Structure formats: C-alpha cells, structure tokens
Amino acid sequence: MAENSFAADRALVLDMINSRGFSYNEISDLLYYLSSSSKSEHTLEKCFILKNLLDRENLNYADIQSIMKKAMVERMKEVHHISWFAEDGDPFPVRAFLHKDEVLVGIDTTGESLHKRGYRKLTARAPIAENLAAALIMLTPWRGNRILVDPFCGSGTFPIEAAMMAAHMAPGVNRSFTAMTWNHLIPEREWTEVREEAKEEIDLNVETDIQGYDLDETMVEYARQNARLAGVDRLIHFQKRGVDQL
C-alpha cells in the first residue's frame, strides 16, 4: 500500500498538453482539440459532468465549460452516430486544469474527494480534512510502534488516521468511487478483487499506543463512534481529559 495514498485528494486519468503560450483568443481552439481527442471514444452515451479549476487571467469559467462540453458532444456524435445525448446514466466528471502555458484534462475517477474515507459521520466545527491529517502525521517521525497522543482530538481524525496506518488499512477501503459504476471500462470483479486484497493486508492485531483526549465529552464520544466506523476502535484509547493533565 502506497503511503502517499493517505494524503491524496483525487485520482484522475490525465492528458496533458503544453499550449506554448496560446493567447485567450485561441483558447477555444486548444480546448476543442483536447476534448475531441480519441480518449472521448470511451465516454459512450452517458451523462458527463464538466468541472473546471482555472488558474489563468481573463478566462471565464462558464465559457470554457460550454466550449469543452460542445467539443465532447460533437466528438461523440462522430463516434457513436447519435445526434442527441440524454444527460442521464453514470457520471463521467471531466476536470480541466489551466496554469500558465499548461493544460491538463482528466476524467475524475474518484467522485467525492479522497479525504472522505467514509468513517467520519460525527464531527466538530471546522474539522481537519482526513488526508491533511494523514499528511501531517507522515511529516513526523511517528511510526506504528511509537506513542501518539492527540490532546485536542475533537472527532478523532488524527488518532484514527494513525491507527489506519499502523494497521495497514487502505484509506479508501470503506468507501465507494465514481469509477465503480463504469462496468464497461472496469469490470466489477476487479473492484472486488482489489478491495479483498486490501482487506487481507489489514492487521488489527498490531500493538499500538494511540491516545486521543478532549475536554468535551461529546467530542470524545464522537471520536469513539467514528473509530468504530473506521474499524480501528480497539487500537485507540479515547478519554475526556484536559491538556493540563498530560
């Protein structure tokens, strides 16, 4: 299991082109070329959602979304010999990233951001994202056989992420992904096999010393429930305790 998968936010199937300084007046031609490439043959007669993250001056979100969608539809008309596409069925979110003279276009296989592991049903105000908590843990010298104490654990994100790492639990093992509905591209059995392989790697018998404290008893209970949903509750000790009692 790749450790950096804990810190990932999204998985994309990407295509990249260097626009070599295309000006704003030429951006429509560039995007038409990108979105009408041979990769669109895999889109089929299904609904697609276009989401764009722009980092370039003078670019209009709505205009680029419209241009890309029109280009994709025209390409699919050629490939599938259909003049009209009903926007229903499985989603195929397309994301475009523009930065200086580079344009990246990708199909979003993830759906909800990867930081949503599926276990955090109860939270405090403004909770830290799960993948950010995991990334911060990985920046420390901590490993599964060392002590980890979170004196302000809130809903338990840091201790739970640490426990998942210690148990070799893949961060997405308890959630679904948009690409799981693309059976014409990824057979269902492959998802099942990969998930089973990930579950075989889990070691809930590992010895850990992970502790989460909070002065708010409600937060401590939230943390315990979230840990149970994550399947790592036996690896963490949660307790109502103030930082002055450390």
More confident residue, 7 or 127: 127
Residue 64 has pLDDT above 50, yes or no: yes
Question: What band does 57 get if pLDDT is binned at 50, 70 and 90?
Answer: low
What is the tens place of the pLDDT at every residue in 93-118? 877 776 666 667 778 888 788 778 88
- Residue 154's identity, in one-letter code, is G
* pTM (whole model) above 0.85: no
Please tell me the predicted confidence (pLDDT) of residue 58: 60
Residue 43 has pLDDT above 50, yes or no: no
Please tell me the predicted confidence (pLDDT) of residue 147: 96
More confident residue, 122 or 53: 122
Mean pLDDT of 71-93: 79
What is the tens place of the pLDDT at every residue in 125-151? 778 999 899 999 999 999 999 999 999
Mean pLDDT of 36-57: 49
Question: How far is it, in rounded angstroms, from Cα 48 to Cα 91?
Answer: 5
Please tell me the predicted confidence (pLDDT) of residue 76: 79
